Amino acid sequence: MEAPAPILRMSGIGKQFPGVRALDGVDLRLLPGEVHAVMGENGAGKSTLIKVLTGVHPADAGDIELAGRSVAFGSPLEARQAGISTVYQEVNLCVNLSVAENILIGREPRRLGRIDWKRMRARARELLARLELDLDVSAPLSSYSLAIQQMVAIARALDVDAQVLILDEPTSSLDADEVDRLFGVMKRLKDEGIAILFVTHFLDQVYEISDRMTILRNGRLVGEFLTSELSQVELVAKMIGQELEVLDKLHGEAKVFDRPLVEARELGRAGAIEPFTLTIHEGEVVGLAGLLGSGRTEVARLLFGADHAGTGQVAIGGEPTPLRTPRAAMSHKIAFCSENRKTDGLVPDLTVRENIVLALQATRGWTRPVPREQQDELVGRYVKALRISPADPERLVRDLSGGNQQKVLLARWLILEPRLLILDEPTRGIDVGAKAEIQRLVAELSSGGVAVLFISAELEEVLRLSHKVAVLRDRKLVAELPNDDALSTEVLMETIASGGRDR
Amino acid sequence: MRRLLWPVLILALLLLVNVLFTPGFLSVQVRDGHLYGSLIDILRFGAPLILVSLGMTLVIATGGIDLSVGSVVAISGALACLQISQDAGVFTAVVLALGLSVLLGAWNGFLVAGVGIQPIIATLILMVAGRGLAQLITDGQIITVNDPAYKLIGGGYWLTVPFGILIVLVVLAVTAFLTRRLALGLLIEAVGGNAEASRLAGIRARGIIVMVYAFAALCAGVAGLMISSNISSADGNNAGLWIELDAILAVVIGGTSLAGGRFSLGGTVLGALIIQTLTTTIYSIGVPPETTLLFKALVVTVVCLIQSTAFRDKVFHRRRPVALAGPATEEKARVTA
């Protein structure tokens, strides 16, 4: 196939943030009339690449060429004027304004200094017609579904003569029909010769719509591939990166778990996770594997009562138990270390000590304070055991590094002596030493009879710790695999990629 | 406590200004078995504001705000005076007035925590409606009472000390006990500092929020008794008018962030005293009556700016390089000379 000249070429792009090398020598080229997917795990540098391309961040190294001319955009506005339009994940529109206003805001057709409403509506209808949409353009945007709002955002992006259209996770909040609709629009635009850069976490969608893909890992380029020539398993392997070194499994001989602690039966929540059934036994470490956005956190939140379940039920020790609030879950000795420790975990203005005793204090109510001696004893013990540094319990938690904040959060739940500990990405963004410590802790807890639900994007880690692994894909629990000798990262990747269809 | 450094300095400065304008400002004497002096007056007249500010501190620490405290002041005073004028006992009157106050506060808390209305709107309802309620209770009249026992609350003395000051000390001690000795303060600060994290840590934020609004209203109720007792009458229109704004100001001057989280009871007391001293100062240095509000506004603006760490950093950091550059250029000049 004779490839046309690329409309956009980025070469050797590098970007350094304080303490992180976000992009290092990344190349990307876009051909007119193709859908190009940028793939990579969370933190691989996809968003940074897009932000560099659209002028949100300046690049530290590398060149960008648009239609053969070297360019450097100082702002997203400049990029748009040059023909690179972006539709972001969250719809960046004003739902209280009309459809026409949203499409043409900032570029309203004017006559004698006043807005020419008639022409504005006509222009908006014209742009929507290009997407095969017929809407009442004077109705407020809020009267349309999220999918239509997404289309309006695309129509807005197309108003300027776009040569390149960037869609950053446009499907994450759409249902299947809406996704089909969006893909129809993308195909039309592609036929018109527009180059589309598509970022998503949904593998099926990549294979349905994209022609080629560029894969990133840890800020580096893995390579550019034709979608038709790369299998899903290969894709997952390239995204996650295979470590050749096989780590020992931390747990000993295969144990028999016969005392179910928490059983979820057809538990689900519309738009978050499809109904799933999962049994966690006493002393068992259950790993949750799956790509970001596959519903890992949603499973955890349902089991902790952080979200209301729409369907199904939970049984604890065989007794059906509604988990409506975190408090209810805590009264059954379930603990949850959330993935997002800044927003859902710690109170940054409180001290290390206060953050650690917070959950314990909450279970006791405000009338029965934890005596100061007991606080100091507990906090001192865990600051030491988890090697929290600085080892000063009176420091504000906001001043600690990410890894130490994670340990503070962990300590908060450990002092409650939970029977089920849910750990959502406990080792993300922390250094190797702390990581090993946390892994060892999980193994210790498990041999002490504590059940652990362990969520991690790192498959090696999941394999190393878990007695069984539940695999999630596209918000659905697709497989439950015992961690025997036959299970390897390859098998896990294959299951993630194929969605457990072959099994 | 470094956090209280600036409020203390500001208060000291205000007192110093008074000393310069009023000879004998600092002297406290015992006359007719009563403590007497300008400082005592500041404490005595500032007592209602301190009370209201203490309640406001806890509300603000949860990330909320209570605009209705002024109305509660009026309602509480009105109900108490009505009861007394109808020959109910002082004790019954006080209990009824405070009971109604707590009920109104719980209503605020319910609107905020139960219904989920933004605090500023939820309490605005009672701020406006409460004035009407107070007038309804007094039937649009000013109720005058003449009861020595009731007079004691706001105007009386006990062991030479004005009774209002004693009430403040008791309320302050109780608040400090509840928040710092018991765990209420920690939970309030957690809810105000990160509401979602607190929920996931199992804190019953709803109950705590209802409680702080009820507490704020209780404090306002006591302040209402003091004010009406001091003037032996209940004025539904003017009692406690704008006190909510002074209270918010006192809390902010005391170093508690309007965004919620950490709070300081000591800071709030200092803040309230600063506002009361400022009022006294305005009279003692003879600011013309028509400019008092403007004068007060100017001083408050300056005080708030000095209190702000961001502002201090900006001003002092900008000056520091200049100060450093001074000697250096001097040296250079000497070298060239």
Helix (H) or strand (E) holding A8: strand A8-17
Given a cut of 80, is residue A175 above it in pLDDT? no
pTM of the model: 0.72
Residue A253 binned pLDDT confidence (cut-offs 50, 70, 90):
low
pLDDT of residue A43: 65
Given a cut of 60, is residue B303 above it in pLDDT? yes
Multiple choice CATH, A8-240, 3.30.450.40, 3.40.50.300, 1.10.287.70, 3.40.50.1580 = 3.40.50.300
Taking only the tens place, the pLDDT of each residue in B107-142 is 999 999 999 999 999 999 999 999 999 999 988 889
Given a cut of 70, is residue A251 above it in pLDDT? no
* Number of structural domains chain B divides into: 2
Q: Quick check: is B140 in a domain?
A: yes
The answer on B211 and B122 residing in a single domain is yes
Nearest CA in chain A to B201: A359
The answer on B333 and B257 residing in a single domain is no
Given a cut of 70, is residue A471 above it in pLDDT? yes
pLDDT of residue A406: 86
Multiple choice CATH, A243-250+257-333+418-503, 3.40.50.300, 3.40.1210.10, 3.40.50.12280, 3.40.140.10 = 3.40.50.300
Q: Using the beta-carbon criterion (under 8 Å), do B194 and A338 form an inter-chain contact?
A: no
Given a cut of 90, is residue A411 above it in pLDDT? yes
Q: Using the beta-carbon criterion (under 8 Å), do B201 and A362 form an inter-chain contact?
A: yes
The answer on B315 and B195 residing in a single domain is no
Q: Using the beta-carbon criterion (under 8 Å), do B190 and A354 form an inter-chain contact?
A: yes
Residue B84 binned pLDDT confidence (cut-offs 50, 70, 90):
very high
Q: A498 Cβ partners below 8 Å, 6+ apart?
A: A232, A233
A364 touching B (Cβ < 8 Å): yes
Taking only the tens place, the pLDDT of each residue in A304-356 is 999 988 899 999 988 898 888 999 999 999 999 988 787 889 999 999 999 99
Q: What is the mean pLDDT of chain B?
A: 88
Instruction: Name the nearest CA neighbour of B218 among B46, B75, B62, B44.
Output: B75
pLDDT of residue B336: 38
Contacts of A347 in chain B (CB under 8 A): 189-190, 193-194, 197-198, 261
CA max distance for chain A: 82
Q: Quick check: is B195 in a domain?
A: yes
For residue B304, what are the domain limits? 295-337
B182 touching A (Cβ < 8 Å): yes
Q: Quick check: is B137 in a domain?
A: yes
Given a cut of 50, is residue B256 above it in pLDDT? yes
Q: What integer is the mean pLDDT of A369-379?
A: 93
Instruction: Name the nearest CA neighbour of B13 among B312, B266, B318, B303.
Output: B303
Q: Using the beta-carbon criterion (under 8 Å), do A354 and B197 form an inter-chain contact?
A: no
Size (chain B), residues = 337
Helix (H) or strand (E) holding B39: helix B38-61
Lowest mean pLDDT among A35-44, A168-177, A467-476, B97-106: A168-177
Taking only the tens place, the pLDDT of each residue in A61-84 is 888 988 888 888 888 888 888 888
Q: Using the beta-carbon criterion (under 8 Å), do A358 and B203 form an inter-chain contact?
A: yes
Nearest CA in chain B to A344: B197
Percent over 90 (pLDDT), chain B: 56
Q: Using the beta-carbon criterion (under 8 Å), do A412 and B181 form an inter-chain contact?
A: no
The answer on B256 and B226 residing in a single domain is yes
Cβ(A333)–Cβ(A418) below 8 Å: yes
The answer on B222 and B325 residing in a single domain is no
Lowest mean pLDDT among A78-87, A156-165, A440-449: A156-165
Contacts of B203 in chain A (CB under 8 A): 358, 362
Q: What integer is the mean pLDDT of A264-276?
A: 89
Q: Using the beta-carbon criterion (under 8 Å), do A343 and B197 form an inter-chain contact?
A: yes
The answer on B149 and B235 residing in a single domain is yes
SS3 label, residue A256: coil
pLDDT of residue A435: 74
Given a cut of 50, is residue B232 above it in pLDDT? yes
Given a cut of 50, is residue A391 above it in pLDDT? yes
Contacts of B184 in chain A (CB under 8 A): 366
The answer on B335 and B309 residing in a single domain is yes
For chain B, first and last CA: distance in Å? 49
Contacts of B197 in chain A (CB under 8 A): 343-347
Query: Which has the higher per-residue pLDDT, A184 or A107?
Result: A184
Residue with tokens 């208060």: B11
Nearest CA in chain B to A336: B200
HSE of A424 in the Cβ direction (CA atoms, 13 Å)?
A: 21
pLDDT of residue A492: 84
A362 touching B (Cβ < 8 Å): yes
The answer on B337 and B255 residing in a single domain is no
Instruction: Measure the CA–CA gap between A259 and A283, rounded to whole angstroms.
Output: 9
Q: Using the beta-carbon criterion (under 8 Å), do B200 and A326 form an inter-chain contact?
A: yes
Q: Is the fold of A8-240 the same as that of A243-250+257-333+418-503?
A: yes
Q: What integer is the mean pLDDT of A371-379?
A: 93
Given a cut of 80, is residue A44 above it in pLDDT? no
The answer on B313 and B167 residing in a single domain is no
pLDDT of residue B330: 38
Q: Quick check: is B22 in a domain?
A: no
SS3 label, residue B2: helix
Given a cut of 60, is residue B15 above it in pLDDT? yes
Query: Which has the higher per-residue pLDDT, B289 or A307?
Result: A307
B194 touching A (Cβ < 8 Å): yes
Taking only the tens place, the pLDDT of each residue in B179-203 is 999 999 999 999 999 988 999 999 9
Residue B331 binned pLDDT confidence (cut-offs 50, 70, 90):
very low
pLDDT of residue A433: 64
Lowest mean pLDDT among A232-241, A314-323, B51-60, B231-240: A232-241
Q: What is the mean pLDDT of chain A?
A: 84
Lowest mean pLDDT among A41-45, B93-97, B236-240: A41-45
Instruction: Measure the CA–CA gap between A24 and A15, rounded to whole angstroms.
Output: 7
Percent over 70 (pLDDT), chain A: 92
From the list B199, B204, B261, which residue is nearest A349 (CB)?
A: B261
pLDDT of residue A257: 79
| Boundary (domain end) residue, out of B244, B267, B286 | B286
Given a cut of 80, is residue A249 above it in pLDDT? no
Q: A225 Cβ partners below 8 Å, 6+ apart?
A: A212, A213, A214, A215, A235
Cβ(B229)–Cβ(B154) below 8 Å: yes
Lowest mean pLDDT among A232-246, A427-441, B273-287: A232-246
Cβ(A459)–Cβ(A489) below 8 Å: yes
Q: Quick check: is B206 in a domain?
A: yes
The answer on B189 and B62 residing in a single domain is yes
Given a cut of 70, is residue A3 above it in pLDDT? no
User: Where do the structural domains in chain A lie, given as residue ranges?
Assistant: 8-240, 243-250+257-333+418-503, 353-417
pLDDT of residue A272: 84
pLDDT of residue B250: 93
In the numeric block, which tokens belong to residue A436?
Answer: 């090993």
B3 touching A (Cβ < 8 Å): no
Q: Using the beta-carbon criterion (under 8 Å), do B183 and A369 form an inter-chain contact?
A: yes
**DSSP tag of B113:** I
